[in-house]
Amino acid sequence: MENYFSLNMDISQINAISNLGLAHIGDGVFELLCRSYLCKKGGKRVQNLHKNTVAMVKASSQAEFASLLLPHLAEEEQDWYRRGKNAHSHAAPKSATKQEYAKATGLETLFGALYLAGRLDRLNELFHLLVAEEQPE
Protein backbone atom coordinates (compact mmCIF):
# COMPACT_ATOMS: atom_id res chain seq x y z
CA MET A 1 0.00 0.00 0.00
CA GLU A 2 1.33 3.45 -0.98
CA ASN A 3 2.18 5.71 1.98
CA TYR A 4 1.00 9.15 0.89
CA PHE A 5 2.36 10.75 4.05
CA SER A 6 5.87 9.79 3.03
CA LEU A 7 6.39 9.75 -0.71
CA ASN A 8 9.76 9.31 -2.36
CA MET A 9 9.30 10.08 -6.04
CA ASP A 10 12.33 10.35 -8.29
CA ILE A 11 13.24 13.66 -9.90
CA SER A 12 11.99 12.66 -13.36
CA GLN A 13 8.55 11.88 -11.92
CA ILE A 14 8.46 15.20 -10.07
CA ASN A 15 9.60 17.15 -13.12
CA ALA A 16 6.81 15.53 -15.15
CA ILE A 17 4.23 17.20 -12.91
CA SER A 18 3.05 20.63 -14.05
CA ASN A 19 4.25 23.71 -12.22
CA LEU A 20 0.79 24.38 -10.89
CA GLY A 21 0.39 20.72 -9.93
CA LEU A 22 3.50 21.02 -7.75
CA ALA A 23 2.17 24.29 -6.31
CA HIS A 24 -1.14 22.55 -5.55
CA ILE A 25 0.52 19.92 -3.35
CA GLY A 26 2.96 22.48 -1.95
CA ASP A 27 0.09 24.70 -0.84
CA GLY A 28 -1.24 21.87 1.31
CA VAL A 29 2.20 20.98 2.65
CA PHE A 30 2.94 24.59 3.58
CA GLU A 31 -0.43 25.02 5.29
CA LEU A 32 0.03 21.81 7.26
CA LEU A 33 3.46 23.00 8.44
CA CYS A 34 1.95 26.34 9.52
CA ARG A 35 -0.95 24.67 11.33
CA SER A 36 1.42 22.24 13.06
CA TYR A 37 3.72 25.07 14.09
CA LEU A 38 0.88 27.14 15.54
CA CYS A 39 -0.62 24.19 17.41
CA LYS A 40 2.78 23.27 18.85
CA LYS A 41 3.17 26.83 20.15
CA GLY A 42 -0.01 26.20 22.14
CA GLY A 43 -2.31 28.50 24.03
CA LYS A 44 -4.52 29.45 21.12
CA ARG A 45 -8.26 29.21 20.64
CA VAL A 46 -9.45 27.67 17.38
CA GLN A 47 -10.53 30.99 15.88
CA ASN A 48 -7.07 32.44 16.61
CA LEU A 49 -5.37 29.37 15.14
CA HIS A 50 -7.35 29.86 11.96
CA LYS A 51 -6.65 33.61 11.82
CA ASN A 52 -2.93 33.08 12.39
CA THR A 53 -2.78 30.27 9.82
CA VAL A 54 -4.45 32.46 7.21
CA ALA A 55 -1.96 35.23 7.99
CA MET A 56 0.94 32.85 7.34
CA VAL A 57 -0.39 31.20 4.18
CA LYS A 58 -1.72 34.24 2.34
CA ALA A 59 0.16 35.10 -0.84
CA SER A 60 1.79 38.28 0.47
CA SER A 61 3.24 36.41 3.47
CA GLN A 62 4.41 33.53 1.30
CA ALA A 63 6.12 36.06 -1.00
CA GLU A 64 8.03 37.46 1.98
CA PHE A 65 8.93 33.93 3.09
CA ALA A 66 10.19 33.16 -0.42
CA SER A 67 12.48 36.20 -0.33
CA LEU A 68 13.90 35.01 3.00
CA LEU A 69 14.57 31.51 1.67
CA LEU A 70 16.13 32.34 -1.70
CA PRO A 71 19.69 32.82 -0.38
CA HIS A 72 19.51 29.39 1.31
CA LEU A 73 18.32 27.34 -1.67
CA ALA A 74 20.43 24.83 -3.56
CA GLU A 75 20.49 25.08 -7.36
CA GLU A 76 17.85 22.38 -7.85
CA GLU A 77 15.61 24.06 -5.26
CA GLN A 78 16.03 27.41 -7.03
CA ASP A 79 14.98 25.72 -10.27
CA TRP A 80 11.77 24.44 -8.66
CA TYR A 81 11.09 27.86 -7.17
CA ARG A 82 11.58 29.55 -10.57
CA ARG A 83 9.30 26.98 -12.26
CA GLY A 84 6.49 27.97 -9.93
CA LYS A 85 7.25 31.68 -10.00
CA ASN A 86 7.12 31.67 -13.79
CA ALA A 87 3.98 29.51 -14.00
CA HIS A 88 1.17 31.18 -15.87
CA SER A 89 -1.77 31.29 -13.53
CA HIS A 90 -4.72 33.43 -14.54
CA ALA A 91 -6.11 33.75 -11.03
CA ALA A 92 -4.54 35.91 -8.35
CA PRO A 93 -6.17 36.87 -5.07
CA LYS A 94 -7.34 40.45 -4.66
CA SER A 95 -5.17 40.77 -1.56
CA ALA A 96 -1.88 40.24 -3.44
CA THR A 97 -0.04 41.77 -6.35
CA LYS A 98 0.84 39.65 -9.38
CA GLN A 99 4.48 39.68 -8.22
CA GLU A 100 3.54 38.48 -4.73
CA TYR A 101 1.34 35.77 -6.17
CA ALA A 102 4.14 34.62 -8.47
CA LYS A 103 6.62 34.39 -5.56
CA ALA A 104 4.02 32.56 -3.44
CA THR A 105 3.45 30.06 -6.25
CA GLY A 106 7.22 29.58 -6.45
CA LEU A 107 7.39 28.83 -2.74
CA GLU A 108 4.50 26.37 -2.98
CA THR A 109 6.11 24.66 -5.99
CA LEU A 110 9.36 24.28 -4.06
CA PHE A 111 7.60 22.83 -1.02
CA GLY A 112 5.56 20.50 -3.23
CA ALA A 113 8.63 19.17 -5.03
CA LEU A 114 10.55 18.62 -1.80
CA TYR A 115 7.59 16.81 -0.27
CA LEU A 116 7.12 14.53 -3.26
CA ALA A 117 10.87 13.79 -3.28
CA GLY A 118 10.63 12.65 0.34
CA ARG A 119 12.98 15.40 1.50
CA LEU A 120 11.11 16.05 4.72
CA ASP A 121 14.23 17.02 6.66
CA ARG A 122 14.99 19.74 4.11
CA LEU A 123 11.38 20.94 4.18
CA ASN A 124 11.57 21.18 7.95
CA GLU A 125 14.91 23.00 7.77
CA LEU A 126 13.52 25.59 5.35
CA PHE A 127 10.36 26.04 7.39
CA HIS A 128 12.46 26.62 10.52
CA LEU A 129 14.29 29.41 8.70
CA LEU A 130 10.93 31.10 8.12
CA VAL A 131 9.65 30.91 11.68
CA ALA A 132 12.98 31.59 13.39
CA GLU A 133 12.43 35.33 13.07
CA GLU A 134 8.95 35.28 14.53
CA GLN A 135 8.62 37.21 17.77
CA PRO A 136 6.90 35.62 20.80
CA GLU A 137 3.35 36.78 21.38
Nearest CA to 5 out of 32, 35, 39 is that of 32
**How many C-beta atoms lie closer than 10 Å to residue 11's C-beta?**
11
DSSP per residue, 82-104: HHHHT---S---TTS-HHHHHHH
Catalytically active residues, by annotation = 27
Sign for the CA dihedral angle at 12, 76, 60, 86 comes to negative
